[in-house]
Amino acid sequence: MIHNTKNYDYLIVGAGPFGSVFAYEAAKRGKRSLIIERRSSIGGNMATHKEHGINIHDFGAHIFHTDNKYIWDYINQFSEFNGYINQVIADYKGELYNLPFNMNTFHQMWGIKTPEEARNKINEQKNAAKVTGLPKNLEEQAISLIGTDIYTKLIKGYTEKQWGRKATELPSFIIRRLPVRFTYDNNYFNHRYQGVPVDGYTPIFEEMYKSDLIDVQLNTDFFSDKEKYISEFPKIIYTGMIDQFFDYKYGELEYRSVRFESETYESNNKQGNSVINYTDAEIPFTRIMEWRHFDKKGDDGYTILTKEFPQDWDRTKEAYYPINDEKNSELFKKYKKESLKIKNVIFGGRLGNYQYYDMDQVINAALKTVHREFGE
Ligand code: UDP
């Protein structure tokens, strides 16, 4: 089968943010791309759809947040964003706490009121737990940041079900994604720019593909004809799993997967917040999203809630999160080294780079790749 029918300059494997930004930028520079996507939808894990006028995020809640004004302006050229600020509630066995860890959480946990009292309490608990020196894992990092009470009630259970392994076996950077602050501020992110697109994320991708120089082919698996694709296209942007590209020759990288269960209710407001995290170990899901609270949109009398269940990954499931522990990082290095030898394939995105990227970081990485590719 001949794939490169239109003398495409690029084959882009995966219609997620990395590949789509690359295609858009290449088209701006007069280059033609074919995007192939295994799934029947565009946008990768950012994909959204509408039900009862409500924007549903198909692969879990995506809130755009960044400190980078350039990236914020960049994504805003494709859609208007609302002013949504993420404020998450944690439910631990029926006790409710504000997240991220801030003066509200400390007050709810300990009844204290001032930043000084909070710092003293945390130091007391950190010293009692004998956590000193550089934290060696997520558990030590968490205790040294916010003490044992919060670690036990809000982190340990959630983290261990989310990742399917002990908090002592996870890298500390994962918990540093969450702010710890000594003010009464429930904003889940520290970034200056934040929001969700008013019509969901999928229209952003449709907007990116408007150029005649971009074609998109859904339901098309690169691996069904890998060698042919490689031989027919001058250059490939590959955003799938890097270990799969090399036929797992050094072994499988580990990923974490999730699955979702959604339900529609005849109500305008069921749980009172867009996201509630269930932080104890016994409840099998990590969080429940109520989509209408992300953008205050939806037909009157309908609300849709989605439960997120973490699950082990195997080749039949979608890979959501790379597990950047020591073992996998070593393995990734081998694949990375291999990938650098192949001059006509660029690896990018969460799966191609095995990195826990946020959306703004993927876009930034894609734009850097574009500049390198075009010698700018
Ligand atoms: N986390 C936690 N309790 C919570 C929320 C998050 O322990 O209530 C930890 C958990 O280890 C999680 C990490 O913080 O994997 C990062 O959370 P984030 O909300 O950034 O995860 P994502 O939305 O990317 O799944």
DSSP per residue over 18-34, as a string? HHHHHHHHHHHTT--EE
Question: Domain-by-domain residue ranges, the chain?
Answer: 10-85+198-252+322-373, 91-177, 255-312
Please tell me if the CB atom of residue 289 comes closer than 6 angstroms to any atom of ligand 1: no
The whole-number pLDDT of residue 227 equals 96
Which of 25, 139, 280, 358 is flagged as catalytic? 358
pLDDT tens digits for range 121-134: 999 999 999 988 89
Q: How far is the CA of 343 from the centre of ligand 1 (A)?
A: 37
Rounded distance, CA 142 to CA 145, Å?
A: 5
Q: Is the dihedral of CA 263, 17, 312, 150 positive or negative?
A: negative
Crossing angle between the packed helical segments 103-110 and 115-128, to the nearest 10 degrees: 70
Residues above pLDDT 90, as percent of the chain: 98
Whether 259 is catalytic is no
Which of 8, 10, 209, 287 is flagged as catalytic? 287
Please tell me if the CB atom of residue 145 comes closer than 6 angstroms to any atom of ligand 1: no
The whole-number pLDDT of residue 284 equals 98
Whether 358 is catalytic is yes
The whole-number pLDDT of residue 95 equals 98
The whole-number pLDDT of residue 363 equals 98
Please enumerate in sequence order all residues whose Cβ is within 8 A of that of 219, keeping only pairs 6 or more positions apart, or say none.
37, 38, 39, 40
Banded pLDDT at 2 (limits 50, 70, 90): confident
Closest CA to 244 of 159, 177, 314: 314
Taking the CA of residue 170 as reference, the ligand 1 atom at the shortest distance is 11
Judge contact between 23 and 35, C-beta under 8 A. yes
Whether 181 is catalytic is yes
Judge contact between 339 and 345, C-beta under 8 A. yes
How many C-beta atoms lie closer than 10 Å to residue 373's C-beta? 17
Q: Does 189 score more than 70 pLDDT?
A: yes
Please enumerate in sequence order all residues whose Cβ is within 8 A of that of 34, keeping only pairs 6 or more positions apart, or say none.
3, 4, 6, 8, 10, 11, 12, 215, 216, 217, 233
Please tell me if the CB atom of residue 159 comes closer than 6 angstroms to any atom of ligand 1: yes
Q: How far is the CA of 180 from the centre of ligand 1 (A)?
A: 13
Whether 177 is catalytic is yes
How many C-beta atoms lie closer than 10 Å to residue 102's C-beta? 21
How many C-beta atoms lie closer than 10 Å to residue 138's C-beta? 27
Q: Does 71 score more than 70 pLDDT?
A: yes
Q: Does 1 score more than 70 pLDDT?
A: no
Domain 10-85+198-252+322-373 maps to which CATH number in 2.60.40.1080, 2.40.40.20, 3.20.20.10, 3.40.50.720? 3.40.50.720
Which of 181, 199, 232, 250 is flagged as catalytic? 181
